[in-house]
């Protein structure tokens, strides 16, 4: 019987190559803090790699321009490499840059973004202002997943990166100290509840009023479990909210929490938010951001301010303390209501909140921009492409753009570059020890 030769498929060959360790050197970091090797074709991104390190890696994903790899062995470590301070770092998906100091993390990500913007937008070095730094215990709100499939080994914690696997945590040093104390006092009790399998996840939030905990259940807890949990929460001074999947969540909205808004010597604003509302999780950086935003935009009693993607009114209230009028736009009915209520709560009648989908051309067309107005926009990761196009054709005087995604930020600034010049820009270390970084820029109309 004749034997017919069959060549191995390209896919099989590629998979075989991916299993072969490759030695390479890291040249720099990108603005996500990921190591970059420029000498390979295509270039290789290595999460956890640092400049001047020699690594043994295995290829993970390959593309025409970029391939990614995972570290198998550090052959020669950088002098900047440090031991992670968290015992769960190697498994947990919460942090990705504990191998580098906090100061070096924001510094190197900022330098990478500077180089990127210089290349893409010809942005000069003198426009850059100092980064807004963060305390190490910064996170005031956190969601923890519950895996109770094995009642003898209940896991509560963060998920592994790109996985549904829950890492059972016994500490988390990036949380604010009140959150740390509350969470690790009550988690052991929750694990022992007979109906713990009914719990999907937990949300903890530190506000002006203290620590609150929302227990999100797929089914109701047993009566004894609910009462014992309530008793312990009361003892630990934790505001407990138990939410059931099949029930209306309006009970959550009836118990808003207070968080600090814009603060200055004779002005202490506060915002009321719900447990599920978006709020900046880093209070210290948020406060510095608001102060710098006011200083850069410099609103006066003659100015009209537009706050796009306004949320609960974080920027709207700060601007309303100085401006003649603030028009806030937000896509969520709940957040529009929250923004308006927060303005009233702070005695600010100069805020008008309106619902609008700023990504929808028909709704954006109804927004009329006054000449020489000031604009604040703080969009989601998808950015504000349509709004940027509208602003580029407008006669507004200044635009303050806050972004959580440098990629869409660069795209949108490119759209507005013919109309505005970037006068000031800085990074914000909103999420230390992670790949994330926020950026804020002041755009001024060209003469």
Question: Could you read off the pLDDT of 119-142 as tens digits, one per residue?
Answer: 999 999 999 999 999 999 999 999
Sequence ranges of the binding site for S-adenosyl-L-methionine:
280, 309, 330, 378
Q: So what's the pLDDT on residue 265?
A: 83
92, 339, 404, 426: the catalytic one is 404
Q: So what's the pLDDT on residue 2?
A: 42
Q: So what's the pLDDT on residue 188?
A: 97
Q: What is the pLDDT of residues 50-92, one digit of tens each?
A: 999 999 999 988 888 999 999 999 999 999 999 999 999 999 9
Q: What is the CA radius of gyration of the chain?
A: 25
pLDDT over 80 at 13, yes or no: no
Quote the CA–CA distance of 420 and 123 in Å, as a whole number: 12
Sequence ranges of the binding site:
280, 309, 330, 378
Quote the CA–CA distance of 294 and 284 in Å, as a whole number: 16
pLDDT over 80 at 14, yes or no: no
> Which residue ranges form the domains of the chain, and what is each CATH number?
17-81 (2.40.50.140), 103-135+281-445 (3.40.50.150), 141-247 (2.40.50.1070)
pTM: 0.92
Quote the CA–CA distance of 335 and 403 in Å, as a whole number: 19
Q: What is the pLDDT of residues 282-293, one digit of tens each?
A: 999 999 999 999
Q: So what's the pLDDT on residue 247?
A: 58
Torsion of CA 369, 372, 378, 382, to 10 degrees: 60
404 counts as catalytic: yes
Give Cα 165 to chain centroid, integer Å: 22
The per-type count for the chain, helices as H runs and strands as E runs, is 11, 21
DSSP 238: E
pLDDT over 80 at 251, yes or no: no
Q: What is the pLDDT of residues 175-218, one digit of tens each?
A: 999 999 999 999 999 999 999 999 999 999 999 999 999 999 99
pLDDT over 80 at 246, yes or no: no
Q: So what's the pLDDT on residue 18?
A: 56
């Amino acid at each position: 019987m004749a034997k017919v030769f069959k060549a191995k498929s390209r896919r099989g060959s590629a998979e075989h190559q991916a299993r072969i360790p490759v030695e390479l050197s890291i040249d720099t970091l990108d603005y996500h803090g990921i190591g970059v090797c420029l000498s390979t074709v295509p270039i290789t991104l290595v999460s956890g790699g640092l400049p001047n390190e020699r690594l043994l890696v295995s290829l993970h994903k390959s593309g025409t321009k970029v391939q990614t790899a995972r570290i198998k062995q550090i052959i020669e470590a950088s002098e900047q490499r440090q031991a992670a301070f968290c015992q769960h770092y190697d498994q947990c998906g919460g942090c990705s840059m504990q191998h580098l100091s906090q100061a070096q993390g924001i510094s190197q990500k900022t330098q990478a973004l500077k180089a990127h913007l210089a290349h893409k937008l010809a942005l000069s070095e003198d426009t850059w202002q100092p980064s807004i730094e963060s305390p190490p215990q910064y996170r005031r709100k956190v969601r923890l997943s519950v895996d109770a499939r094995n009642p003898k080994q209940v896991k509560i914690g963060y998920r592994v990166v790109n996985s549904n696997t829950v890492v059972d945590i016994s500490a988390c040093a990036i949380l604010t100290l009140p959150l740390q104390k509350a969470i690790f006092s009550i988690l052991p009790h929750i694990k022992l509840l007979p109906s713990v399998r009914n719990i999907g996840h937990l949300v903890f939030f530190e506000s002006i009023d203290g620590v609150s905990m929302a227990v999100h259940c797929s089914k109701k807890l047993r009566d004894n479990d609910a009462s014992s949990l309530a008793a312990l929460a009361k003892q630990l001074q934790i505001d407990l909210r138990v939410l059931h999947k099949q029930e209306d969540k309006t009970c959550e909205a009836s118990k808003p929490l207070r968080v600090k808004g814009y603060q200055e010597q004779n002005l202490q604003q506060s915002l009321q938010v719900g447990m599920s509302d978006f709020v900046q999780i880093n209070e210290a950086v948020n406060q510095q951001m608001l102060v710098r935003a006011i200083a850069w935009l410099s609103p006066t009693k003659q100015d009209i301010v537009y706050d796009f993607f306004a949320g609960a009114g974080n920027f709207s209230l700060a601007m309303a303390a100085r401006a003649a009028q603030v028009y806030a736009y937000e896509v969520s009915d709940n957040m529009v209501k929250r923004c308006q209520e927060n303005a009233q709560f702070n005695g600010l009648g100069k805020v008008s909140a309106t619902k609008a989908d700023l990504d929808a051309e028909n709704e954006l067309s109804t927004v009329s921009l006054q000449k020489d107005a000031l604009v604040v926009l703080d969009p989601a990761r998808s950015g504000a492409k349509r709004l940027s196009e509208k602003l580029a054709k407008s006669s507004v005087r200044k635009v303050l753009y806050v972004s959580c995604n440098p990629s869409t930020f660069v795209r949108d600034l490119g759209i507005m570059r013919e109309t505005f010049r970037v006068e000031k820009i800085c990074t914000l270390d909103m999420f230390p020890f992670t790949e994330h970084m926020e950026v804020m820029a002041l755009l001024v109309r060209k003469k």
